[in-house]
Amino acid sequence: MAQTINTTTKFPKVVIIGGGFGGIELAKKLAGKEVEILMLDKHNYHTFQPLLYQVATGGLEPDSIAFPLRKIFKGQKNFKFRITEVKKIIPELKIVESTIGDISYDYLIIATGSATNFFGQNEIEHFSMPMKTIPEALNLRSMILQNLEEALLEPELIRKDALLNFVVVGGGPTGVELSGALAELKTHVLPKDYPELDISQMDIYLVEGSPAVLGVMSENASKAAKKFLEEMGVTVLTDVKVEAYDGKLISLSTGQTIHTKNVLWSAGVKGQIPEGITPENIVRGGRIKVNEYNAIEGLNDIFAIGDVAAMVSEQYPGGHPGVAPVAIQQGKHLAKNLIRVVNNEKPEPFKYFDKGSMATVGRNRAVVDIGKIRFQGVFAWFVWMFVHLMSLVGFRNKVVTFVNWVWNYFSYDRGTRLIIRKFNRKSMTEEPISK
- Residue 18 contacts residue 37 (beta carbons within 8 Å): no
- What is the biggest distance separating any 2 CA atoms in the chain, rounded to whole angstroms? 73
Picking from 175, 162, 167, 164, the residue whose alpha carbon sits closest to that of residue 131 is 175
Picking from 171, 165, 137, 131, the residue whose alpha carbon sits closest to that of residue 151 is 165
98: which strand partners?
86, 101
In sequence order, which ranges of 343-394 are alpha helices (DSSP H)? 378-391
Q: Rounded to 5 degrees, what are φ and ψ at 223?
A: -65, -40
Torsion of CA 388, 338, 112, 73, to 10 degrees: 60
What letter would DSSP give residue 257? Answer: E
Torsion sign across C-alpha atoms 294, 288, 136, 406 = negative
- Residue 303 contacts residue 327 (beta carbons within 8 Å): no
Provide the residue type at 371 as one letter. Answer: G
Provide the residue type at 384 as one letter. Answer: W
> CB burial class (10 A; 0-12, 13-18, 19+) of residue 152?
exposed
- Residue 111 contacts residue 41 (beta carbons within 8 Å): no
Q: What is residue 162's three-state secondary structure?
A: helix
Q: In the chain, what are the helix, strand and coil shares in percent, each to the nearest 5?
A: 35, 25, 40
Q: At CA 111, angle to CA 427 and CA 106, rounded to 5?
A: 125
Picking from 387, 319, 307, the residue whose alpha carbon sits closest to that of residue 132 is 307
Give dist(CA 250, CA 225) in Å, integer. Answer: 24
- Residue 168 contacts residue 266 (beta carbons within 8 Å): yes
Is 177 one of the catalytic residues?
yes
Give dist(CA 359, CA 266) in Å, integer. Answer: 15
- Residue 258 contacts residue 164 (beta carbons within 8 Å): no
Catalytic residue among 25, 177, 184, 208: 177
Active-site amino acid positions? 177
